[in-house]
Amino acid sequence: MIPIRDTIPSKHYPVVNSTLIGINIAVFLIQMSQGLNADRFIYTYGLVPARFSDPNIFSYFSLGQQLFSLISFMFLHGGFLHILGNMWFLHIFGDNVEDRMGSFYYLIFYLLCGVVSGLFHLLLNYHSVAPTIGASGAIAGVMGAYFILYPHSRILTLIPIIIFPWFVEIPAVFFLGFWFVLQVLNAASSSAEAAGIAWWAHIGGFVFGMVSLKFFNILPQTSFAGSLKNASFKRKATPYFQVLNTFNQRQEKDRYEEITITPYEAAAGVKKKINVPWGFYNRFYNVAIPAGTKDGKILRLSGAGRQIPDGQPGDLFLKVRIQQPW
């Protein structure tokens, strides 16, 4: 299952979340530029449990280097697909959590989730010489927070069926719960050295993200945190990719749906891509909403309605709703 987006837009632009993604990408580029020194770079800035448990190895590093590795490891990645997957999950789930916590506390929360996930892995693999790298432990903490904060959200998910893409909205509780169960099953059946993935770091980060929410909820709103949140400007757009719900409609060849855009999009004009699912079959359409569109305007997509055997397909009529989606 590949998440595409969630159905709860954040009110403010995720300044910290976007910055974290940028830092991860920048560090990855630095890591890739190391060439023959890449392994040394990873061993220096990655989290290696044996550096803490073996006195002979410990002696090669200063205390500052040891402590710094508890943070630096979460900004390293093992390859393009590794960082792509991590940053995509952070992009989907992090903006909402930052929106609820505020940018200042979200930054602290994210780093703590990463540190705790690293410590969790370190304690359970105390003598391992394999470096652990990646932001997945910190991101797991963000996902754990999302699991508690947005139980009624839905995750637009791509499920590849052989070569055909199937898009479906899955409740966030089920999506994240299923992900967590997979981490537990993988952790129970493999070791860090054998799998190459720090499953226990994922588990520790996810659990810490859920549990620590109560503490962050009672923290006072400092003047700095408040000003940082106020400085982040509100979003002006709805998601580019949208899925229309075609279930429970009358068996007519024409379909009637609504598409929501913001006042900014209505004034400036906008293009959207919509997915019209029908069972396991999906069709995609580009929708151009002209500048100056008024609330209630009807857009007609010829041939996008119900497919009638031995007949012409119906049309899809989209009613434009102009409102802030939050």
Residues of the chain with CATH 1.20.1540.10: 2-231
pLDDT for position 160: 77
Confidence of residue 221 (pLDDT cuts 50, 70, 90): low
Question: H or E element: which one contains 228?
Answer: helix 223-231
Higher pLDDT, 271 or 164: 271
- Alpha-carbon span 301 to 274, nearest angstrom: 11
Confidence of residue 194 (pLDDT cuts 50, 70, 90): very low
Question: How many residues would you count in the chain?
Answer: 326
Question: H or E element: which one contains 256?
Answer: strand 255-261
Highest mean pLDDT pick, 33-47, 152-166, 190-204, 261-275: 33-47
pLDDT for position 192: 46
pLDDT for position 158: 83
Name the DSSP letter for residue 59.
T
Are 31 and 42 in contact by the 8 Å Cβ rule? The answer is yes
pLDDT of 145 above 50: yes
Residues of the chain with CATH 2.60.260.20: 241-322
Q: Does domain 2-231 have CATH number 3.30.9.10?
A: no
Amino acid at 325: P
The percentage of residues in the chain with a pLDDT greater than 70, rounded to a whole number, is: 85
Closest CA to 129 of 195, 71, 57: 57
- Among the residue ranges 145-154, 181-190, 236-245, 292-301, the one predicted with the least confidence is 236-245
Residue 165 CA, distance from chain mean position: 20
- Alpha-carbon span 250 to 108, nearest angstrom: 51
- Alpha-carbon span 320 to 300, nearest angstrom: 11
Higher pLDDT, 249 or 105: 105
Closest CA to 115 of 205, 209, 219: 205
Closest CA to 108 of 118, 119, 97: 97
pTM score over 0.75: yes
pLDDT for position 225: 54
pLDDT of 108 above 90: yes
pLDDT for position 168: 81
CATH code for the domain defined by 241-322:
2.60.260.20
> How confident is the model over 228-261, as pLDDT tens digits?
555 555 666 777 777 776 554 556 778 888 888 8
Mean pLDDT of 93-108: 91
